[in-house]
Structure 1
Amino acid sequence: MKPILFSLLVILNLSCKVEQDKKTPKIAKQQPNILWIVCEDISPTLSFYGDNTAKTPHLDALSKESLIYDNAYAVVGVCAPSRSAIVTGMYPTTLGTMHMRTGKDIQSWGNRNYKKETNVVDLEGKSVIEYAAVIPEYVKCFPEYLREVGYFTSNHQKTDYQFAAPVTVWNQNNAQAHWRNRANGQPFFSVFNFDITHESKIWKNSKLPMTVNPDSVPLPSYYQDTKTSRTDVARNYSNIELLDEQVGKLIAQLKKDGLYDNTIIFFYSDHGGPLPRQKRDIHKSGLHVPFMVKDLKGTKGRTDRLVSFVDLAPTILSLAGAEIPDYLQGKAFMGEKDSQPRDYVFGTSDRFDEITDRSRAVYDKQYLYVINDFPEKLWYKDISYRLQVPMMKEMIQLRDENKLNAVQSTWFQPKQDEELFDIKNDPNRLHNLADNPKFADVKNRMRTALLKFRDSHTDLGMLPESQLINKMWPNFEQPVTQSVMLSAVETSQGKTVTLSTKTKGASIAYIISDTSEEKLDFNSPWQVYSKPINVKQGQYIYTMAQRIGYKETEISKTKIE
């Protein structure tokens, strides 16, 4: 299907693709502790996936007590759009969070000054400003639902959702965030993000001791076999060994606290590996991730079940016994609401930093099918950030000197309209089967699945980004959440206070204090407002509100007389 036809479909259906559900999740029946161990930028290059290059004794030990997923996929091959899918249970193309990167919201505190001048243009050549994505008003970050049913939520410490997370999402969201800071007996959902394997660590860790021998690393055929390549690949494996040490320390804390046996542990990477032809790729090297779960039932072994990152939000709500809002696009794969296994998972590719393109993909357990809306563009994208990887700079030099072989050169050639790969037998996507008549039935089946997905899900990537921004930020100015309004009714114990704001979809946070001298900021212990609250006479209530993508209100203070 041609891009212009998709554009017409999107414009016709832009406001009616996703059903709203504004129900508050019910009180959880079971509330297990849940820990996410999240690393950055690694493919399944670990021993329990068959690659013994890096020595990872702590992850190996965890894997022996976990269910290992062989078919877990990110939605986008880069962090911020991927993380927006994780925290919302929605596809980035539905939310408008698919372009990497929108603004400065890597953490949800600090400087939020969005630049009007950038070096980024959209598909029509129009300038793109920095912005926070304004997502549909009914969509929340799912940890907020956990807080409403009694969970302590902590994030240490990266958010990077393409928008600033409201203070209602996390009890703690900083470098001190930890399950140890919860109330006694309170169930927790704690996230720890480890960046030691991030792409940037290929060059930033260059002076650290190398723990993996460059001469012994496996080298994909699409890489030049040079000292530079082997050094970067060995550095990646050495960083994975450093990650294993950090994971070991965190698990030791959990065991020391006597929580290991009654905590569900997830381990995964935010997308595929950090090296060229991995990160930012819509193919298996960019989206396929290591993923395992240690549950409370002692489930062990492997599963070939297809899992998408949009499935994480409903799965955690299912494990917590909370109601899953109907608008979520993911499917729970564990817990009370475990759903029918997927037949397919989907991937998207749009702007990465200063380079804009658009492709869409569908995976089953054996095949990958891709539609490239702009086949004249190269798969290689001349992204300045990636040029800091030494082997990337060398690859460009060898390309310019015509010293890359046929396999190594394919990345620098125009794409085809359609691609079909047998990812079981050709994981490095070297042989496009789209025009092979032997695979016509497979291609038709996969194409039908992808076109159905594109037709049934709003795809804001079809709009030029500057036009999308102007819809989110009218006249390219960030909208502001309207102030919190307070009403109070007298009771025998003080007053019952109701909070509201005229901004639809805004979350309201509050703090009750005995003093008027509170020094509050984003890291203060804000509570989530979901129903009227009791406040004693003489106490102060501090309030603020934020709709995702909007600027939050100023903090207001009211004394209850």
Structure 2
Amino acid sequence: MLSCKTQDKPNILWITIEDTSPQFIGCYGNESASTPVIDKLADEGIRFTNAFSTGTVCAASRSTIITGVRTFKMGTGHQRSQYPIPDDIKGFPYYLKQLGYYTTNNSKTDYNIANEKDFIKEAWDESSNKATWKNREKGQPFFSVFNFAESHQSRTMSWTFEQYEKHVWDHLPEEDKIADDAFDIPPFYNDTPEMRKQFARVYNSIKLTDNRIGELLQKLEDDGLKDDTIIFFYADHGEGIPRAKTTGINLGYRVPFVVWFPEKFKHLSPWKIGKSTEDLISFEDLGPTMISLLGGEVPDYMNGINFFSDNSKENNKRLLLSTDRVDNGLDLVRSVTDGRFLYSRNFMPFVPEARYIHYLEIADITKHMRKDLNHNKLNAFQSRIFDERPYEVLYDIENDIWEEHNLAENPNYKSVLEDMRQFMDSTLLASKDVLFMTEYSMVNISETQKAYAYRLDDTKYNFKEIYRVASLSGKKGAEVTKTQIDLLKSNDDMVRYWASIGLMSQDKSLLEPYEKELNEALQDEYPPVAITISAMLYKKFKSKSSIEILDNFAKSDNWTLALMSINYMLYFQDRAPFEPTIEALLKNENLNWHVKSACLDFMQSQELRKAI
């Protein structure tokens, strides 16, 4: 395998787009999509069919892209969190600068870390919405990123239709506009004229994105640089629609990914030009690949592969993927894929796929879905995404692209299921996933320590035991229930927390014999346990004492505790006792924005229920 060390150094252009699944790109088989620029790159380059974001939302995904370190090692998996990371972990463009590259970023950063300004300054020569390759020294190679927001979730669903028209529709020539009846709608949506009106936003937003990419490539050619530049194109995670972005399934993780080589550098490609490859790659691999390709030494803390190497296929046979809190929506999902199947373990299965996240709830498409649900207009598949999830799912993502059929209990796939479980268990245990810690504790420890190092100290963070208990979550039965009740006496706060999380999924009849133990747990000195047990007792038994506890924590000055309490309230059938508290909180002008988002979701959904 040739290296750039002995060749003229190529320029590198990264074209990143937002919130897009390959199912909506022409070169990935969608004949309704209009993406000629992307399709041409793929026809002349290499199209990856098994490229995966390591997360399902932008900030968490970019954290891994820029550092080459997984979020569950650094604690950077929660959207809009800013915890400190080790000083020696740098943005990978820093290492390209040491190789003589001029590094530019136009313009999104959003890396989900503390001290982001210093981090950005060290990584990039330019980082702004005006950054370009033009300011480099004569003859200096460049690494330039251009991020296009035209396909972002704001355009595809969350902005008002009028804003979408202003920022997307009105920028498309008439011949480029895609009509409401010009595509197939995914089967997990009710196929109505109103849903088609909303879903057409996806196709038109991607069409505008394709046009913008064409304009950038023309600038590259006009500057006489295309013949010296390797081009990468990819999206930051799955489509910005309900049940894709933010959701721990294939629709949230899989991304379009293309690499284009000029004639001068085709010898660097281990793949046949103009073809597709099934090689598994993830965002953990991007930094190491760039550093290796351009002749640098990959730092030890980066564990991804150089997917340009000849043995990359052997090194990446399976990928571990993850999703955690997104804005106000709590969750913890870990997934494994081999490209053919995707296995997801839902550690909070009582939260549905369509969980309350304010940026999704304000969208007309979500409002229509919830309205149709309440009027019994959805079929079983369409309504299922609002139900509690199985604790594990297995999808054949090659033959079931919309992930309708869960194969986890199908005996024909037992060996696949067990293989993926084992890979997930061994990988997480080796990594000591720090995001199994509550965010309440993460905030506390981050004041004096970095989560990256904290997780490695077994005396502080006994992940082996924590994971053993967390792995019971979602499993039902008398024996599991008794084990979880007994674990409420553990000396480890995190063990008790995961025992309480597991009890959320147990049937009322299995919990009734443990009334004494559960009432004692209401007074647990670790707040996340008291909150979770209160939520469980209210949900299962309408416990009056739980109302007061949840109300008090919802009013807490600690935003993590307030958010946890209100999130539980969102999934109660009877929320009336909590409505005065939520109304009072919304009058607080200084309310944490995650907490405010949860309160707004509470009130909006209450109004929808009352209207029904």
Q: Under a length normalisation based on structure 2, what TM-score does the superposition of the two structures give?
A: 0.67
Q: 2:106 & 2:385 partners in 1: Cα distance?
A: 36
| 172, 190, 194: which one aligns with 1:228 | 194
Q: Decide whether the 8 Å contact of 2:52 with 2:283 is kept in 1.
A: yes
The aligned counterpart of 1:60 is 39
Change (3 A) 1:413 1:421: same
Q: 2:373 & 2:336 partners in 1: Cα distance?
A: 31
* Structure 1 residue ranges (4+ consecutive) displaced by more than 2 angstroms after TM superposition: 26-31, 206-210, 335-341, 473-476
For residues 117-158 of structure 1, what are the alpha-carbon distances to aligned partners after superposition, in whole Å with 9 as ceiling and x for unaligned?
A: xxxxxxxxxxxxxxx221133311100111112110000011
Change (3 A) 1:378 1:170: same
The aligned counterpart of 1:91 is 70
For residues 15-38 of structure 1, what are the alpha-carbon distances to aligned partners after superposition, in whole Å with 9 as ceiling and x for unaligned?
A: xxxxxxxxxxx9955532100000
Change (3 A) 1:263 1:336: farther
Q: SS in structure 2 opposite 1:166?
A: helix
Deviation of the 1:397 alpha carbon: 1.1
Deviation of the 1:369 alpha carbon: 1.0
| 258, 275, 282: which one aligns with 2:241 | 275
Q: 2:391 & 2:100 partners in 1: Cα distance?
A: 50
| 14, 34, 38: which one aligns with 1:36 | 14
Highest relative contact order (Cα 8 Å, sep 6+), 1 or 2? 1
Q: 1:403 & 1:475 partners in 2: Cα distance?
A: 51
Q: SS in structure 1 opposite 2:201?
A: helix
Q: Decide whether the 8 Å contact of 2:319 with 2:336 is kept in 1.
A: yes
Q: Decide whether the 8 Å contact of 1:206 with 1:235 is kept in 2.
A: no
Deviation of the 1:336 alpha carbon: 8.7
Deviation of the 1:337 alpha carbon: 8.9
Change (3 A) 1:144 1:475: closer
Q: 1:233 & 1:380 partners in 2: Cα distance?
A: 17
For residues 478-517 of structure 1, what are the alpha-carbon distances to aligned partners after superposition, in whole Å with 9 as ceiling and x for unaligned?
A: xxxxxxxxxxxxxxxxxxxxxxxxxxxxxxxxxxxxxxxx
Q: 1:272 & 1:475 partners in 2: Cα distance?
A: 33
Matched, 1:297 2:275: no
Q: 1:253 & 1:435 partners in 2: Cα distance?
A: 53
Matched, 1:69 2:48: yes
Q: 1:318 & 1:216 partners in 2: Cα distance?
A: 44
For residues 504-546 of structure 1, what are the alpha-carbon distances to aligned partners after superposition, in whole Å with 9 as ceiling and x for unaligned?
A: xxxxxxxxxxxxxxxxxxxxxxxxxxxxxxxxxxxxxxxxxxx
Q: SS in structure 2 opposite 1:205?
A: helix
Q: 2:240 & 2:345 partners in 1: Cα distance?
A: 24
- Higher mean C-alpha deviation, range 308-317 or range 424-433: 424-433
| 336, 341, 353: which one aligns with 1:362 | 336
The aligned counterpart of 1:206 is 165
Q: SS in structure 2 opposite 1:334?
A: coil
Q: Which runs of 5+ in 1 are unaligned?
A: 1-25, 103-131, 477-561
The aligned counterpart of 2:132 is 178
Deviation of the 1:349 alpha carbon: 1.4
Q: 2:142 & 2:445 partners in 1: Cα distance?
A: 37
Matched, 1:264 2:230: yes
Mapping of 1:99-498 within 5 angstroms? 99-102=78-81, 132-163=82-113, 164=116, 165-202=119-156, 203=159, 204-207=163-166, 208-209=169-170, 211-295=177-261, 296-297=265-266, 299-334=273-308, 340-474=314-448
The aligned counterpart of 1:552 is none
The aligned counterpart of 1:113 is none
Deviation of the 1:172 alpha carbon: 0.2
The aligned counterpart of 2:566 is none
Q: 1:139 & 1:458 partners in 2: Cα distance?
A: 18
2:68 aligned partner, one-letter code: G
Which structure shows the higher strand fraction? 1
Q: Decide whether the 8 Å contact of 1:27 with 1:149 is kept in 2.
A: no
The aligned counterpart of 1:537 is none
Q: Decide whether the 8 Å contact of 1:321 with 1:336 is kept in 2.
A: no
The aligned counterpart of 1:111 is none
Q: Decide whether the 8 Å contact of 2:188 with 2:381 is kept in 1.
A: yes
Q: 2:133 & 2:398 partners in 1: Cα distance?
A: 40
Change (3 A) 1:441 1:168: same
2:367 aligned partner, one-letter code: K
Q: 1:256 & 1:340 partners in 2: Cα distance?
A: 40
Which structure shows the higher helix fraction? 2
1:206 aligned partner, one-letter code: E
Deviation of the 1:254 alpha carbon: 0.9
Q: 1:49 & 1:421 partners in 2: Cα distance?
A: 19
Q: Decide whether the 8 Å contact of 2:120 with 2:127 is kept in 1.
A: no
Q: 1:284 & 1:461 partners in 2: Cα distance?
A: 21
Q: Decide whether the 8 Å contact of 1:387 with 1:393 is kept in 2.
A: yes
Q: Decide whether the 8 Å contact of 1:359 with 1:373 is kept in 2.
A: yes
1:142 aligned partner, one-letter code: F
Change (3 A) 1:78 1:88: same
RMSD, aligned CA: 1.9
Q: Decide whether the 8 Å contact of 1:265 with 1:293 is kept in 2.
A: yes
The aligned counterpart of 2:520 is none
Q: Decide whether the 8 Å contact of 2:99 with 2:295 is kept in 1.
A: no
Change (3 A) 1:335 1:382: same
Deviation of the 1:367 alpha carbon: 0.9
Question: How many aligned positions are there?
Answer: 422
Q: 1:54 & 1:422 partners in 2: Cα distance?
A: 24
- Higher mean C-alpha deviation, range 149-158 or range 222-231: 222-231
Q: Decide whether the 8 Å contact of 1:32 with 1:319 is kept in 2.
A: no
1:88 aligned partner, one-letter code: T
Q: SS in structure 1 opposite 2:344?
A: strand
1:417 aligned partner, one-letter code: Y
- Higher mean C-alpha deviation, range 152-161 or range 327-336: 327-336
Mapping of 1:9-20 within 5 angstroms? none
Identity %: 39
Q: Decide whether the 8 Å contact of 1:269 with 1:291 is kept in 2.
A: yes
Q: SS in structure 2 opposite 1:35?
A: strand
Q: Decide whether the 8 Å contact of 2:238 with 2:253 is kept in 1.
A: yes
Q: SS in structure 1 opposite 2:103?
A: strand
Q: Under a length normalisation based on structure 1, what TM-score does the superposition of the two structures give?
A: 0.73
1:58 aligned partner, one-letter code: V
Q: SS in structure 1 opposite 2:342?
A: strand
Deviation of the 1:339 alpha carbon: 7.1
- Higher mean C-alpha deviation, range 257-266 or range 227-236: 227-236
1:147 aligned partner, one-letter code: K
Q: Decide whether the 8 Å contact of 1:331 with 1:339 is kept in 2.
A: no
1:205 aligned partner, one-letter code: Y
Q: SS in structure 1 opposite 2:203?
A: helix
Q: Decide whether the 8 Å contact of 1:28 with 1:149 is kept in 2.
A: no
Q: Decide whether the 8 Å contact of 2:394 with 2:417 is kept in 1.
A: yes
Deviation of the 1:458 alpha carbon: 2.8
Q: 1:281 & 1:149 partners in 2: Cα distance?
A: 38
Deviation of the 1:257 alpha carbon: 1.4
Deviation of the 1:468 alpha carbon: 1.1
